[in-house]
Amino acid sequence: MLEKTQVSGGNVALNFASPCQFSDRVAIFQQHLDHSQPTRMSDGLQAFAGHFQCIQRDQIGECCGGIAHFVDQYIVIFRYVNMLGGKIDRILFNAQSSFAYTHPFRESHLMNTFPKHIFASLILGLLLVLTNLCQAKQAKPNILWIVGENLKLDLGCYGAKNVKTPNLDGLAAKGMRYNKVFSTSPVCAPSRSAFFTGMYQTSSDTHNMRSHREDGYRLPEGVRPLTHRLKDVGYHTANIKTMDGEEVGSGKLDLNFVNEGKLYDTNKWEDLCGKKPFFAQINTLEAEYDIYDRQTWRQPRVEWKGEKHHEKIATPENVTPPPYYPDHPLVRLEWARYLNSISGMDKTVGKILQRLEADGLADDTIILFFGDNGRIEPRGIHWVYDTGIHVPMIIHWPKNFPAPANYRPGTVSEEVISLIDVTPTTLGFAGISRPLGMHGRIFLGDRRGPSRKYAFSARDRIDETVNRIRSVRGARYHYIRNYFPDRHFTSLNRYKEKCFPIKPLMRKMMKEGKLTGPPAALMSPTVAPEQLFDTLADPHEINNLANSNKPEHQKALLQMRTALDVWMVETQDQGVFPEPDHIVKPFEKEMHDWFGTPPWAKGPE
């Protein structure tokens, strides 16, 4: 709260009593800025803030005699001459601290030199930067992201059968479990590029799989990697691969931007010792095919990472694959292999949690477990059905930090969440206000944003396979728009043909006339331009309701169709611009050299 606020005759005086109130004054200052030129003001703010933040925090403290003292004495007075036009007539600074003495602002010089809207942006930038510097002086929790590879809600705590996940089940029992979390993409690189920046991949031009690796691409101005923002307030950052030499994480980045500088300080757990606060990310090894030697075409059967050590909880005899696959021994075998990979992942998570306790860090560390995209199955990853975008999430809050009001341990949340929301929520855990223009919303914390009605997802080119699909997921209904109805499940993707034996099996069975019902429908060469599924009545998303005459279905279709149109315009969906052939063509040869080309398909030119 503000100690004193006076508004009269266009004057606003803000008297701030403590550093903890700094974000309040920023919010009020923002309300009085010239909203008639938001783009120019935002540019000025980002340029100023980016320059100012490069100064070391200890240097700032020296030059202004301590941020806390500066904030205690800070008074801002400004006047609007024309509120409708938003023209700032006068900005006066009266500060009785060494900052004012060391770096005096001379009103006449500044106001004659800078356009007024730029000047206002600079002042807001100063306030935002000082907010972060002030926050850096306060005790902060450690933050640990455990990012699961390629899984749906296939944990015991979600009701999954034939898996053994006591460690994640225990974390969920003590923390909060989220039932309706959806990735922004059904494949890793675009999804990670979104939740690592807080901007939809379709807005930042990182929506195509493994793009911008060699073209000098930079993120849009003002968009920054999460770890850079955390380092601004004192976080030590890590992408953990090993604990005392034992591999526990992949160290995976797989981001569609590579020119933003160093993203992490270390990849070893031991380096976190004494580094408080820290942000650590551990990308699980399991639920992933062992393909990164790029010699996969040589393997008669592609193994899962660590498969030889996976406990055989699931067997071909006790599993029940989804009904859109044929009831076949190979299908059941592959399903069991996947579930056993999930059980193997849980063992690794157990090692991480035990080490957190042993090192005395558990009571100071917020833990977020979530999947980067949906399940690694033929109809899962790469497709925006729930199997490709519906991911688990568990959050556990530590004892030594006050929990947010909406954190209720031992409960299950049914609110719709997008992985884009993880970014501002994580920043909030670190005491950082949601940056201007960030797409996500804070879903857990004392500055919680409005509830989300829909989660939006997008699929574009993946490897050599060009497509464009958009998805709107609500609490019950799921709307999918297929821009290329002739490019569906049977389209060529060499990774899928080699690593997922169910797909060539279904091709063979379809050719022999042995498929019926949902498996036969899945093998159709085309798909409807629009699909609508009632996920409550039809969890496997088999019955398309887009042509249903029922009022409730037509209402959902119209609402979600409109929501998608608005979202694409508001976020400036870049998928409307196809990649040129000279970018796409090399992926055909790359994928051929990596996975080979099936006999029925044409090889690369």
Q: Which domain holds residue 355?
A: 142-310+347-453
* 24 and 48 share one domain: yes
Q: What is the DSSP string of 412-479?
A: EE-S-EEGGGHHHHHHHHTTPPPPTT------SSTT--PPPS-EEEEE--BTTB---EEEEE-SSEEE
Which pLDDT band holds residue 131 (cuts at 50, 70, 90)? low
pLDDT of residue 228: 98
Return the closest-CA partner of residue 383 out of 503, 318, 471.
471
Q: Are 52 and 125 in contact (CB under 8 A)?
A: yes
* 216 and 286 share one domain: yes
* 17 and 162 share one domain: no
* 393 and 482 share one domain: no
If one counts the domains in the chain, the total is 3
* 271 and 206 share one domain: yes
Give the CATH number of the domain where residue 372 resides: 3.40.720.10
* 515 and 580 share one domain: yes
pLDDT at 4 over 50: no
Distance CA 463, CA 209 (A): 6
- Mean pLDDT value of segment 378-396: 98
Least confident residue range of 83-87, 230-234, 460-464, 539-543: 83-87
Average pLDDT score, the chain: 84
Asked whether residue 333 is assigned to any structural domain, the reply reads no
Half-sphere exposure of residue 176, counting CA atoms within 13 Å on the CB side?
20
Last residue of a domain, one of 136, 163, 178: 136
Asked whether residue 319 is assigned to any structural domain, the reply reads no
Q: Environment class of residue 284 by beta-carbon count within 10 Å: exposed (0-12), middle (13-18) or buried (19+)?
A: buried
* 442 and 516 share one domain: no
Last residue of a domain, one of 136, 158, 174: 136
pLDDT of residue 126: 65
* Structural tokens at position 29: 């200052």
Within its chain, how far is the Cα of 293 from the centroid?
27
pLDDT of residue 604: 85
pLDDT of residue 142: 98
* 95 and 240 share one domain: no
pLDDT at 575 over 60: yes
| pLDDT per position as a tens digit, 150-207 | 999 999 999 999 999 999 999 999 999 999 999 999 999 999 999 999 999 999 999 9
* 39 and 97 share one domain: yes
* 105 and 174 share one domain: no
Asked whether residue 461 is assigned to any structural domain, the reply reads no
